[in-house]
Structure 1
C-alpha cells in the first residue's frame, strides 16, 4: 500500500495518499485497527500504545449487527479511542437480504451509533460478508448496500463498504476510491493490495505489545477514515511494524496438504468455503448430522482445514484450531457444554474455559461475528 518516498511525481489520489501517509512501500502499515466485543474491554492506555508504538491513526469499532444486536463495548471503545487522540469510526455487521431490511438495519445502526457517542462525520461502514448476502445476486446486493449507505448518511455519518477481496466486484460492486477490502497475503511486505480503495485490511492476527489477542489491522490509502485530515502519527519503532507485517500471515501458505481420507459426522453446523481461508466465500452451511467425506487436510491460518470432493470441485471446512484433531466432530464423541448467560461474549466464555476465541467459535460452527444468546449451549471441550 503506497509508494517509496522519492522524487517521482505523484498525481491525484496517489499524491494525496502519499502526503497523508508518509508512504513506505517496504511494509504494510498498521494505520487502522478494528475492534468489537470479541476483543473485550480496551483501555485508553492500550489505544495510546497502538498510536505511539505502532503508528495507528484510526480505530473502527463495531456498533451493531442485524436489527437487534448492540455491541456492549462500543460506548467504552468510542470514548477511549477519542481519549487516546485517535480518529474514530464505526461499522455495522450486515444481515440484510432485502432493501427494506437494509434500510431498517441502517436506521438501527445510525440510532445506536448516536446513542453510543460516535461523532457526526465519522465513517459508519457496512460489513457485508454474511450468508444472506452470499445467496443474493450481485444486483440485489448492490441495491441493498446503496440503500443502507443512503440511509446512514441521513444520520450525518459517512458511508463505506467492508468486504473480502474475493467478494468485491463479484458478490457486490465496490468501486475504486471507495471501499475497505480484506485480503491476507502470505507476506504483506512490499505489496500494495487494493491501492485504489480507501483501506486494505491485510491481517486479522496482528499483535500489540500491551493488548491481548490478535487484531484486524488495515493500511489506509486515503484520508477517508481520518476525517479527511492528514495524520502525522508514525510508529516509534518502524522495524517492529515491519516484523509484524513479515510474520502476520505466514501460517497461511507455509503448510502442505496431507492425505486425510476420512468420513465424519458433523456435530454442529459448519461453513463450507470455496478455499481454505476464513476470507474465502461461504458456498453453503452444512447442518449438524451431515456426513462429510474428505480426502486431504492442511494446517494454515491458525486452523485445521479439510477438503471435501464435490461434484463441481472441492469444498473446504475449518474443523478447529491448528492443534485440533477433528475429534470433536467424530461420531460418538462426548462433549462438555457451556450455557450462555446474559452479558456473555465470545471473549468472556473463551477466557473462562481457557480457549482461543476463534477456536471456540469455530468448534461450534460459527464465526466471531455470530450473535450468541442466553440459554444457547456451546461446545467448550
Structure 2
C-alpha cells in the first residue's frame, strides 16, 4: 500500500483541510533561529482534516547539535505524533564532510526522543556522497523528478535510479510542480511506501533499524546515444533550470541557472523528452541544460528566449 501527500513550508499558504491527500510534511525550523510561522496552523489543519503529518528541519552549515536542539525545542510537543525529517540540501553541506554533519544531527534527535528521522536528499548527492554511516540506521526520503512538467493530481512515478546506500526510499518526492484542487500554486508531491500504521510506527520510534541493502551492484542501464546538432547562441531562461553533467535528468547537478541568467551554447540535442543545450566550460568539459520539452525530434515549448 502507498500513501499520497505533500510537503509544505511558509511558501505554501494553503489550507490543508481543502486539498486532497493522506499526509502533509511541514517545515518546522531552519538553522538555529528560524521557525516556520505557518507550522502550528498547518499542523492544526492536518489534524482537523484527519491527515497524517510530519515535521522537517532544514539543515544549514551551523553546528549540527545546536541545530538539532533548536529543532527539538520547537517540535517537542509533536514528537510521537508525526514523523520527523532532516532536509539536507544546503549547498555548503553537499561535500564529503556533509554526511558526518547530518549524522550528528540525526543521532542527537534519536538520543533525546528515541525517534529515527528520515533524511531528505536528492538522488544525485545520495549516490555521490558516502552515506554508509547514515543509511544503516536512518530511512531515506528522496527527491527525484522524471520531468519538470506540471503534474495535475497525484500521479505517482517510479524512482528513476537506485539509492545505493539505502537500496530503496520509503518516501519519494517526485515533482515540485504538482497541482491539487484547493490551491492555485505549485506543490511538492510525495509518495510514502507504506500504510498509516507504518507511518505511525515511524512517528513513535517503534520501527526496527532498516536492513542493509544488498551488496551486489545494480545492473547498469545503457544510456541512449545523443545526436548533437551544431548551433551557437545565447539562451536566457524564464525560470530556474538545472545545469547538469549530462543531457539527462540523472546527470549530476553542476549549478542552478536562474531566470534571466544568460548562458552560451554551441549545440543542441533531443533526449529524454527535452531539448538540451550544450554549454562549453573550462578544461574542455560541457554543461547541459534542458531548454524545453520535446516529443521525439520536435520541440513542444520554450523555457526562455534565444539570441
Q: Structure 2 length as normaliser, TM-score?
A: 0.66
Distance 2:269 2:36 in 1: 34
Give CA deviations for 1:139-167 in whole Å, capped at 9, x if unaligned. x2221111011222355353121111111
User: In the alignment, is the contact (CA less than 8 A) between 1:122 and 1:158 conserved in 2?
Assistant: no
**Contact 2:248 2:272 (C-alpha < 8 Å) held by counterparts:** yes
Counterpart Cα distance in 2 of 1:265 and 1:207: 26
1-side partners of 2:259 and 2:144: how far apart? 30
Distance 1:167 1:153 in 2: 23
Question: Between Structure 1 and Structure 2, which shows a larger proportion of strand residues?
Answer: 2
Where 1:107 maps in the other structure, the secondary structure is helix
The aligned residue for residue 139 of structure 2 is 178
- The equivalent of 2:67 in structure 1 is 105
Q: 1:49-90, CA deviations, whole angstroms, 9 ceiling, x for partnerless residues?
A: 32xxxxx2x221111223333222211111111111122111
1:39 to 2, 8, 12: 12
How many Å separate the matches in 2 of 1:297 and 1:61?
40
Number of aligned residue pairs:
259
> For each residue in 1:73-114, what CA deviation from the matched residue of structure 2 results, as whole angstroms up to 9, or x when unmatched?
211111111111122111122222xxx622222222222324
Q: Given the superposition, is the C-alpha separation of residues 202 and 79 from structure 1 closer, same or farther in structure 2, using an over 3 Å criterion?
A: same
Could you say which residue in structure 1 is the equivalent of 2:245? Answer: 274
1:325 match: 304
Task: Indicate whether 1:144 and 2:115 are aligned.
Answer: no
Separation in 1 of the partners of 2:109 and 2:67?
9
Contact map agreement 1:78 1:118 (CA 8 A) in 2? no
Taking the aligned partners of 1:318 and 1:325, their CA distance within structure 2 comes to: 10
1:261 aligns with 2:271: no
Tell me which residue corresponds to 2:40.
75
Alignment check: 8 A CA contact 1:293 1:308 kept: yes
In the alignment, structure 1 segments of 5+ residues that lack a partner are 1-20, 22-28, 51-55, 230-255, 331-381
1:298-313 pair list within 5 angstroms: 306-310=277-281, 311=283, 313=285
Distance 1:291 1:169, change over 3 A: closer
Match of 1:209 in 2: 181
Partner of 1:15: none
8 Å Cα contact 2:276/2:288 also seen in 1: yes
Q: TM-score, normalised by structure 1?
A: 0.54
Distance, in Å, in 1 between the alignment partners of 2:247 and 2:24 is 29
Gaps of 5+ in 2: 148-154, 203-226, 294-300
Corresponding residue number in structure 2 for 1:132: 92
**Higher-helix-fraction structure:** 1
